[in-house]
Amino acid sequence: MQPSAILESALYVSDLDAAETFYGEVMGLTRIAKVDGRHVFFRCGQGVLLLFNADATRQPPKPGARLPVPPHGTTGQGHLCFAGTAEEIEDWKTRLEGAGIAIEADFEWPPFGNSSGGGRSIYFRDPSGNSLEFAEPRIWGI
């Protein structure tokens, strides 16, 4: 038995307002939930991107809380990779650079594992310094 997919991914941000603007306006994701000072959530394809203020999520739920989610959080920069075709990656590169976002790396991966052959990746940062990537799914044989 194994999970069928990853439903949600989380990143921890230092400025929720800047993150909301970046992921909503630059990345074009649709916001689906927000609690000021704690989190903002976005739909991304079939999954959900959770953006948290790490300090707020380290607090245990109050007794009798409607949603007793255990404390969690991390420090430092995280990583998330979005899927894209070669054409979409080129379009994203143009869009990101047009928004003043530096592309830190742009390269072709060599074949890996069972994949039939490499694929392109571009790397950039969100306002909190998280490392973001667009890559062709074929880098993982998908």
- The pLDDT tens digits for 13-52 are 999 999 999 999 999 999 999 999 999 999 999 999 999 9
User: How far from 126 is each of 64, 105, 130, CA to CA, in Å?
Assistant: 35, 14, 5
What is the total residue count of the chain? 142
Rounded CA gap, 126 and 81, in Å?
Answer: 12
- pLDDT tens by residue, 98-142: 999 999 999 999 887 665 678 999 999 999 999 999 999 988 888
Q: Which two tokens stand for residue 48?
A: 């959900």
Nearest to 86 by CA among 110, 113, 124, 118: 118
Q: Which two tokens stand for residue 62?
A: 């109050």
Q: What is the pLDDT of residue 115?
A: 58
Structural domains of the chain, ranges and CATH numbers in brackets: 1-62 (3.10.180.10), 77-142 (3.10.180.10)
Is-contact 55 73, C-beta < 8 A? yes
The pTM score is: 0.91
Q: What is the pLDDT of residue 25?
A: 97
Rounded CA gap, 19 and 83, in Å?
Answer: 20
